[in-house]
Structure formats: C-alpha cells, structure tokens
Amino acid sequence: MVCKGKRPLSCPCFFLLTAKLYWLFSIVQKAHGQENIHSIRIEGDIILGGLFPVHSRGDKGVPCGDLKKEKGIHRLEAMLYAVDQINKDPDLLSNVTLGVRILDTCSRDTYALEQSLTFVQALIEKDASDVRCANGDPPIFTKPDKISGVIGAAASSVSIMVANILRLFKIPQISYASTAPELSDNSRYDFFSRVVPPDSYQAQAMVDIVTALGWNFVSTLASEGNYGESGVEAFTQISREIGGICIAQSLKIPREPKPGAFDTIIKRMLEPPSARAIILFANEDDIRRLLEAAKKNNQTGHFLWIGSDSWGSKIAPVYQQEDIAEGAVTILPKRASIDGFDRFFRSRTLANNRRNVWFAEFWEENFVCKLGSHGKRNSNVKKCTGLERIGRDSSFEQEGKVQFVIDAVYSMAHALNNMHKDLCPGYNGLCPKMSTIDGKELLSYIRAVNFNGSAGTPVTFNENGDAPGRYDIYQYQINNNTAEYKVIGHWINKLHLNLGDMQWSKGERTHPASVCSLPCKPGERKNPANGLPCCWNCERCEGYFYQMNELTCALCQREQKPNINRTACEPIPIIKLEWHSPWAIMPVFIAILGIIATTFVIVTFVRYNDTPIVRASGRELSYVLLTGIFLCYAITFLMIGTPNTLVCSLRRIFLGLGMCFSYAALLTKTNRIHRIFEQGKKSVTAPKFISPASQLVITFSLISVQLFGIFIWFAVDPPHTIVEYEEQRTVDPESARGVLKCDISDLSLICCLGYSILLMVTCTVYAIKTRGVPETFNEAKPIGFTMYTTCIIWLAFIPIFFGTSQSAEKMYIQTTTLTVSMSLSASVSLGMLYMPKVYIIIFHPEQNVQKRKRSFKAVVTAATMQSKLIQKGNDRPNGEVKTELCESLETNSKSSAESPIVRSAS
C-alpha cells in the first residue's frame, strides 16, 4: 500500500462486503504467521490461476502437513510444462503469453477457500475511505493480478468450495481431478468444467464390474465429504435403478478418524460375512489406513476391494500392504504417460527451477537429504549436493493425473485462442476487446472446445461441463513375488472386462462370490428373505407347477406338464392301448380263439344244416345267437384299435350289439319254451308265435330297440375322439400321460350295455321258470346254466370296472375287463349250448338221427307229470314215489301211442 494524496473511490455495496471479507481473511492469515503466502507467480498477458494440493492436510489445527510429491509437485509442474509449451506454440495464442498464479490448497477445503480469494482481488474495488496513511494521505493499493481462468482444484470438496466463490465473479474453472457428481449441477456450478469424467460414470462402471463378476451383495465405504459421499450415492442410485445389487451396509470414514476407528469399520464390514465386496470411494490416506486395519485383524483374502479413481494405480495406498490389497479392482480415467513431461521433469534441478517455490522441499523429500542449515530435514540426514538427478538417483513414475492437468491448461488455451480469433481477427497480441476478458463469454468458448489432448484422445465438454467417461480397469496382482497393477479392461460407455486375466488372493483364478444367497437351481423360485431382493430362500416348484420367473411358480395347462428342469411346460405324451401291451395280448388271444371256435361251429352247422340236431336246435335263432357270439369276440379288436372317428362309431354300434343279438335270441327261446309248457297245462293247442319266422321277428324286434338307441346317440352326440388327461395325471408329472380314447363315458357305456344286461336278466328269469322241463325235450337247462354263469361274470365285472375308475391304469384295466368279460360271456354260451351238439355231430353221427315223433300233448304231459312227481318226492318215501312214477310213465306211454304224431316241442 502506497500513501499519496486523496483519491476518491466509489464502492457498490456488494464489492464493499466482499472487500471486507477479504481483509478479514487477511487478518486470519496474519494470525497464523502467513502474511507472505507461498505461491508461484509468472507474469503474462493472460493470467491463469492454479490450485494444487502441494501439501497434505495438517493435524491439530495446522492447515498444511507433509509435502505431496506426486499429487502435488507432479501436477503443479505439469501446469508449468503445459504453459511453457503453449507459449512456445506459434499456432496457439500467437503473440499472447500465458502467465500463472499457483496456490497450495493443502488438501483442505476451508484453507483453499481462503487462498482462492487471491484470484478475485483484482475484481474487488476496495473502500479506502476509512483508511489513512500516517501522514493522513489515502492509500494506493498495488494492482493485483487479474485471473482469467482457474485450473483446479483436485479434491471435489475443494472444487465445490472454490466454485462457489469463482462463480460470483464469473471466473471459469477447469478441474483436472474433481469427479463428484454434484459438480454436474449446472444451475449451481455453472462456471465449473472438468476434463475428467464425473463419478456418476465411474459409479456406472463399478456397477457394471460388480454385475460382470456375478456379485449382488456388497458394502460401500466412503470418506466423509463430497467426493466419497457423492460417489457412493451415485453407485447406490444406479444399482437400485438397474436392480440385482443389494447394499449390505453403507459406512463412512470420518474426516478426523479417532484411534481405533478403522478397526471398528473392519469389524462392521464383517457383520454380513457374505458381503465380501467393498465399494470404496475414499481418499488415498483413508485407503492406506483401512488396509492396515484389515491386515491387523487378519482379514487377508476376505475382502474384495473395488476402488475408485482415488485409489487408481497408486503405490502409496498399498505400500507394505500388498497381501491385503491383492485382487483389488480399481478404476482410473483413461490416461497415458506423457513422454514430453517425463523429459521435462527429469531435467528439473534446483538451478533451473527457481520459479517453483516448493521445489526445494520436494528435492529434500525426493532424495532424502537436507539443503543447508535451514532445511526441513533433521540434522542426521545427509546434505543435498544439488547434483542429484530425478530418475537417476531416485525412482520416478509419472503421476496419473498429469495428462488431465495438461489437458485442462490446453482447454483453457484453446478457448482463449478461439475467442481471440473471433474478437481480435488479424490482431497481433491482445486487442482492446480482450483487455478485459468476460468470464461468461470465455465459458461458452470453453464448452465448445474440441481437440485431441496430450494422450491423443478427444477433449470435449457436455452442456454440464463434464468430460466423456473413459476408464481403464486395473487389478492389483502379485506374480512371482512382484506386485503390480495390471490392466484387465476398460469402460467407454459400456464395460469391456477380460475375466480370464483376473486373479485373486494367492493367485486363485476362480472368481470369489459376494452374494447373499446362492442362485436357485432351475425349477426353483426365490422366496425373498430379510427384506432384501438379493436374499432369498429357494423353493422348488412341485407337482405340475413350473418356474414362470424368478419369484413365481405357475401351473401348467391341462394338457401340459413341466419339463425335466421345471423351467417351462411341455405337452404331456399321449398314449393308447397298444397291441403289444400285456393288457391287450390276453384279450386278443381269447378273442382269436373264440372267433375260431365260433366260425367252426357256424361252418359245422351250415354243413349239417338239415340234420336232426341242427334242426332241433332251432336253426334260425341259432345263427342269430352265433352271430351275437361272434360280435362279442370281434368287439375286442375295436376296443384295442387306435381311436378315430370310424373306430369310435363302430364301437358305439357293436359294443352292446353282440350281447343284444345273443340275449335277444336266448330270451326268445326261453320265452317260447315257457309259453309252450304253460299253454300245455291248459290245452293241447299250441301257443301263438312259436314258428321260426315268428321267433326271428321277435328277436329282431328286441335288437331294433338297441339299434334305435344307438342312432339317437349318434344324432345327439356324434362320435369323436378325446384325449383324457385326468386318468393318468399322476403325482409325479414325469409319469403323466394323456389317454387317446373315444368319447364314451362310463355312463354312456352303462347305457349302451344296459339294454343287453336287461335282456340277460330277463332271459335268466325265464331260464329259472323253465328249469323243470326235462332235458330230454328241450335246451332249457343248458340255457339256464349259461345265464347263471353269465350273471356271475357280469356281477364280477361291475366292481372291477368301476372300482378302478381312480386308478392310473384305468384305461388298461377297464378295457381288458370289458373285453374279457364279453369274451367269457360268449364262450359260456358257445361252450354250453353248441359244443355238445358239435361233438355229437362230428364224433357220434349215429346219434344224429330222426327219433320217434311225439305229440305236443304227450311232450307237455310228460313234463307236467315229471314236475308233479318231483314235488311229491319231497313229501313221500322213496319206494312210493318210484312205484307211482313207473305207473304214470306207463299210462303216459300208452296214451302217447294212441295220439297223433306231432313235431317235437324241442
């Protein structure tokens, strides 16, 4: 401040307030003994500000701590290198020199805020009305540097604090390392831009990595502050949106951790033992102390670290923690080592780098030596000679953000260059229009830049000032006792990960698991547990249910069953009774024998049609009865044949028709015999309708009732096939079968056979009534025995047929039972009624001769006398009965001889 004569100053209220704030900070700085702030100042036509974490955060109220060789000095020198290159470039800001004003943020947001006020001094018009020199003259303030733009800061929390001040004065800011998603808010940080992608991209990349590794149960850990908290928030939000990832717990590392804080964090992260993956958004110091705590608690190989770009490929966090860090997957914005900067930095010495006020301190730290008696190293350390060389006498590896520092400086330079071309066309140097650079106008040029950066990749900004997301994916691996970061993939809008290049603790190649519940097997549904979608119990889909989706078992349709994995439904196999089935072989065998025997009887009867035995049997009804017997055998083949419309139609017709033929003929016979002998008791006149023609009319009248019922059935319900799935719908779906059958229900079957059974019962009643007729005269007794046996067969058929209606073998049992019962009924009729006659015809032809004809009255009288004698025999002694029987027979014989000869009643 220089004292001169009075000089009036005008001051708006806003600038007056800001000036007073500045003086207040100056007083604070003086109280700390920092009146002369260390900074790098290089003159130029256009001055760019720079904010770098040259020192770490101090302890116990001290603002600055130890020097940061890489994150501080390397990045700072990168800005100086970029400015030098731009000033030498004839095509970029020709005849315009860039200057710098670089400040140390000491990795602390509040301290950085104090420092950043330096950048706005030139824009503050100070009110000196109350300030006078000792002689009473008003002061004249030294004109501060006018900052056109700021490069920095590094930490997101520092950038947020500084951005709030710079936007008030419309000073554009380009960060080289701040990645907090919050800074993408263009309404709050409209003058902020960055050449690194925001953590929202990084969080997306981390979500993609977790998904690619098959992990769904993770914990998050963040350093308290904008960077860590915003990163975890972005990861949580993205994972919630895409689904499939659950956060077991979210922990924070305090800004000022107390002793034992990291041990407590490790123990808390172990509480869900299956959540082994840890998503880390933490600063370098916190990462190092976290790994130390994990090692101290013997958790080597347990945790699966997924580190953000603050870990990246740095050596410092994993130094002497190699075992506990093995397998860690880290992310770093895609970068390249800048060879020009390596040559530049290796050439830096104490002699040629006096502009860097912290370089001497770096020299001592880098070479572990002391510069003179005022050096910061203790007296036991050797003195520096000044002849040491970087990279020769000390290790050197370019810091990861160097490329982005250079790109940030070049972005500002390209924006100024484009602005110069538009505002000062053809002008050599700065024109009056750029003497005072408008920050808002410069911002528009910054957002419009598009050039290839120092690594050859395009440098652009979106409407929020964010750079595109480009990341390299690293894994910290130990091979042959050598630990190194290995590139295992990259992320540019989507993940490209080489899973085969990954290895884990102790060189294990199999990907470890970090899941709450193991995946369910095919055919099992997830039953959510613990209120988390990633935790579940697996429940198998039972019965005819299949796995419709992860959470639901659904019932297959009626004609379907679950496949072997229960992941879908498939058609139930359709079966029918096959010819080769044991259930078919026996009925077919019986039917074939029966058909052969029936055919033999028919042929025999036809051949000996005019013989007495055939004629006495009633030829017409015999052929009808034999036809019915033949049909009873033949129905077996229709019942076993493959169902179709024709087969189903024939089944309806012939299922009851064969029995109807048989029992209609037998009923007509037994009725004729009964009427004859009942009529004989009253008179010698023969009853009506006993001639062969009449008998056929009666028989076919009875049969027509069955046919009429069948035709009505055809009209009401035309025959067709169905597939019945309930019959063989077993408990085990693998055994389920659909049965191809005709649409003949059990009720329809009973109706179809009911009429024939009615004829059978009626015939049996007549057989009982004619049981007293002597066998010498008629067939009543063979018919009776036939009907008794047939009734027993069908009485056995009913419980077997209907008792198996719920059996899985229903189709086989019922078909076999029905066909065998019909064949047995036919066999009984054939065997009892016709086989004795065939036997006599073939083997005893001498008995097949015409006998003496007896009158109708004689036949009836003999039968009546026999009945009476049988009745008396139950009441008298044997001798009396015998004598009476002989007398009666003699009297009967005489009267027979005198009577006219009539045709036998048989």
Question: What pLDDT is stored for residue 686 in this prediction?
Answer: 64
Q: Which residues contact 152 (CB under 8 A, 6 or more apart)?
A: 49, 50, 51, 52, 105, 158, 159, 162, 173, 175, 176
Q: List 734's β-bridge partners, or say none.
A: none
**Domain annotation covers residue 882:** no
Which among 651, 614, 619 is positioned nearest to 636, based on CA atoms?
651
Cis status, amide bond into 863, omega within 30 of 0: no
How would residue 143 be classed by pLDDT, with cut points 50, 70 and 90? low
- Residue 82 pLDDT exceeds 90: yes
Please indicate, yes or no, whether residues 761 and 812 belong to a single structural domain of this protein. Answer: yes
Query: Considering the entire predicted model, what is its pTM?
Result: 0.56
Please indicate, yes or no, whether residues 613 and 684 belong to a single structural domain of this protein. Answer: yes
Total count of domains within the chain: 3
**Domain annotation covers residue 500:** no
- Residue 331 pLDDT exceeds 80: yes
Which among 57, 25, 43 is positioned nearest to 143, based on CA atoms?
43
Query: What CATH number did the domain enclosing 700 receive?
Result: 1.20.1070.10
Question: What pLDDT is stored for residue 879 in this prediction?
Answer: 43
**Identity at 637, one-letter amino acid code:** F
Question: What pLDDT is stored for residue 428 in this prediction?
Answer: 85
- Residue 160 C-beta-side C-alpha neighbours within 13 Å: 16
Question: What pLDDT is stored for residue 779 in this prediction?
Answer: 67
DSSP code per residue over 289-355:
HHHHHHHHTT-TTT-EEEE-TTTTT-SGGGTT-HHHHTT-EEEEE-----HHHHHHHHT--TTT-TT
- Residue 510 pLDDT exceeds 80: yes
Residue with the bigger pLDDT between 4 and 868: it is: 868
**Domain annotation covers residue 875:** no
Tokens of 84: 């030098």
Share of the chain above pLDDT 70, in %: 84
**Domain annotation covers residue 1:** no
Question: What pLDDT is stored for residue 164 in this prediction?
Answer: 93
Lowest-confidence region among 635-649, 692-706, 759-773: 759-773
pLDDT in tens, 83-92: 999 999 999 9
Element (H, E) at 555: strand 552-555
Please indicate, yes or no, whether residues 544 and 630 belong to a single structural domain of this protein. Answer: no
CA distance 151 to 605: 124
**Domain annotation covers residue 777:** yes
Question: What pLDDT is stored for residue 10 in this prediction?
Answer: 36
Query: What CATH number did the domain enclosing 53 receive?
Result: 3.40.50.2300
pLDDT in tens, 356-371: 999 999 999 999 999 8
Q: Is 29 exposed, middle or buried (0-12, 13-18, 19+ CB in 10 A)?
A: middle
Residue where a domain terminates, one of 848, 867, 895:
848
Please indicate, yes or no, whether residues 566 and 615 belong to a single structural domain of this protein. Answer: no
Question: What pLDDT is stored for residue 376 in this prediction?
Answer: 60
DSSP code per residue over 650-678:
HHHHHTTHHHHHHHHHHHHHHHHHHHHHH
Tokens of 233: 């928030």
Please indicate, yes or no, whether residues 598 and 630 belong to a single structural domain of this protein. Answer: yes
pLDDT in tens, 148-177: 999 989 999 899 999 999 999 999 999 999
CA distance 391 to 344: 12
Please indicate, yes or no, whether residues 648 and 711 belong to a single structural domain of this protein. Answer: yes
Residue 20 CA to chain centroid, in angstroms?
65
Please indicate, yes or no, whether residues 534 and 399 belong to a single structural domain of this protein. Answer: no
pLDDT in tens, 193-213: 999 998 889 899 999 999 999
Which among 321, 315, 274, 269 is positioned nearest to 296, based on CA atoms?
321
How would residue 895 be classed by pLDDT, with cut points 50, 70 and 90? very low
How would residue 25 be classed by pLDDT, with cut points 50, 70 and 90? very low
Residue where a domain terminates, one of 407, 438, 460:
460
How would residue 899 be classed by pLDDT, with cut points 50, 70 and 90? very low
Residue 219 CA to chain centroid, in angstroms?
24
Question: What pLDDT is stored for residue 726 in this prediction?
Answer: 81
Residue where a domain terminates, one of 411, 429, 460:
460
- Residue 105 pLDDT exceeds 60: yes
Share of the chain above pLDDT 90, in %: 43
Residue with the bigger pLDDT between 630 and 426: it is: 630
- Residue 786's domain comprises 582-848
CA distance 196 to 176: 6
How would residue 493 be classed by pLDDT, with cut points 50, 70 and 90? confident
> How many Cβ atoms from other residues are within 10 Å of residue 248's Cβ?
22
**Domain annotation covers residue 491:** no
CB 891 within 8 A of CB 865: no
Q: Which long-range contacts (CB under 8 A, 24 or more apart) does 834-838 make?
A: 834/601, 834/605, 834/617, 834/622, 834/626, 835/601, 836/782, 837/613, 837/614, 837/617, 838/600, 838/601, 838/604
3-state secondary structure of 251: strand
Which among 266, 262, 206 is positioned nearest to 231, based on CA atoms?
206
DSSP 370: B
How would residue 296 be classed by pLDDT, with cut points 50, 70 and 90? very high
Please indicate, yes or no, whether residues 89 and 168 belong to a single structural domain of this protein. Answer: yes
Please indicate, yes or no, whether residues 423 and 551 belong to a single structural domain of this protein. Answer: no
Element (H, E) at 246: strand 246-253
Phi, psi of 56 (to 5 degrees): -80, 175
Please indicate, yes or no, whether residues 709 and 805 belong to a single structural domain of this protein. Answer: yes
pLDDT in tens, 793-813: 888 887 877 777 666 677 788
- Residue 396 pLDDT exceeds 50: yes
Element (H, E) at 278: strand 277-281
**Domain annotation covers residue 835:** yes
Please indicate, yes or no, whether residues 439 and 530 belong to a single structural domain of this protein. Answer: no
Residue with the bigger pLDDT between 428 and 553: it is: 553
**Domain annotation covers residue 855:** no
Question: What pLDDT is stored for residue 531 in this prediction?
Answer: 75
Question: What pLDDT is stored for residue 693 in this prediction?
Answer: 84
Please indicate, yes or no, whether residues 592 and 450 belong to a single structural domain of this protein. Answer: no
Question: What pLDDT is stored for residue 618 in this prediction?
Answer: 79
